[in-house]
Amino acid sequence: MRRIVVDTDTGIDDAHTLLYLAGRPDAEIVTVTSVYGNCTEEDAIRNIGHVTRLLGLEVPIARGAAEPLRGPAHIAGYVHGKDGLGDLGHDRSLPRVADEPAPELLVRLANEHPGELDLLALGPLTNLALALRQDPELFTKYRSVVLMGGSGPYAPPGTLLMIDANINNDPEAARAVFAAPRRELVMVGVNVTARTILDEHAIAALKASGTPVARFATEILDAYLDFYQNEWGRRIIPLHDPLAAGVLLDPSFATAWTDGPVNVRGDGFLYRARLMRTHDGLPPAFPYEPAPPTRVITAVDALRFVADFVEVLAR
């Protein structure tokens, strides 16, 4: 059983992740904290409330960062809809929230339950960086920290990668996270999530199941499908955040990984978190900052994970 603290910028795939975690018998959602990203923090907290009410899940909910450590927030309303859940007009009333903000809650839970909880970060890493300012040893007190973000090692020449949005939204916070001491830090990046596809057949299977959870999961997909059809010419989506949850619960979904230092680097346009290795395992051709080892996932059993995801939500 994994007892999980979820930090989320609750867009469509974040909502799917909460549904997936709630349906897994080996997972317990301990608390959920909000952060900006896929939508504003205000919408993220409302979406947490909406999804937890749908699930009948009563857990502490805490408000987190509304903007990055530096600069304005970049909100991906063009991907997830302005409200983060596809602009379908759901009644997303504010949930009851904890008195303490998300960073303080992350610190308190880690100190009250050392080695017992897993931290799953699905959005920009601002809340985690703010929590590290309060307790620099924070990650040593979580059983593991698993984040959806990063771009893996440097790709083969000529390879293009999907935007590394959670890192790009707050590169300063990401640098603090990858530099912090930890028990186990796992990076599930766009190098693997972009290839883990919920295709037409899987979407049809979800719709056919008719359960309230599956019905909600497919209802909110349209905005996401509208965006990704421009990427692939098909109405299919990558399971970014759900895959990170799957790797946390069942590490065998990852079929290859490398442990090594991760740096956050910009190219003048975008920031990415990269394992400081080329695709063939060599160091990059420039100096880089030393950092404690991060487990960087480089390959996954995408078919098996997608089948599990569909089965859990349809059940």
* Per-residue pLDDT tens digits for 182-195: 999 999 999 999 99
- Compute the average pLDDT of residues 127-144: 98
pLDDT average, residue stretch 146-165: 96
pLDDT at 265: 97
Residue 119: left if φ>0, alpha if ψ -120 to 50, beta else—which one? beta
Amino acid at 112: E
Could you tell me the end-to-end alpha-carbon distance of the chain, in angstroms, rounded to an integer?
19
pLDDT of residue 18: 98
Q: Indicate yes or no: pTM above 0.95.
A: yes
Q: Mean pLDDT of all residues in the chain?
A: 97
Reported confidence tier of residue 91, pLDDT bands at 50, 70, 90: confident
Active centre residues (catalytic): 240
**Beta carbons of 29 and 4 less than 8 angstroms apart:** yes
Return the pLDDT at 178.
98
- Domain formed by 2-314, architecture: Alpha-Beta Complex (3.90)
Query: Per the structure block, which two tokens stand in for 279?
Result: 């695709």
pLDDT of residue 229: 96
Domain extents for the chain?
A: 2-314
Strands of the 294-300 sheet, one edge to the other = 61-62, 27-34, 2-8, 117-121, 144-148, 185-188, 294-300, 254-260
Give the pLDDT confidence of 244-289 residue by residue, as tens digits: 999 999 999 999 999 999 999 999 999 999 999 999 999 999 999 9
What proportion of the chain, given as a percentage, has pLDDT over 70?
Answer: 100
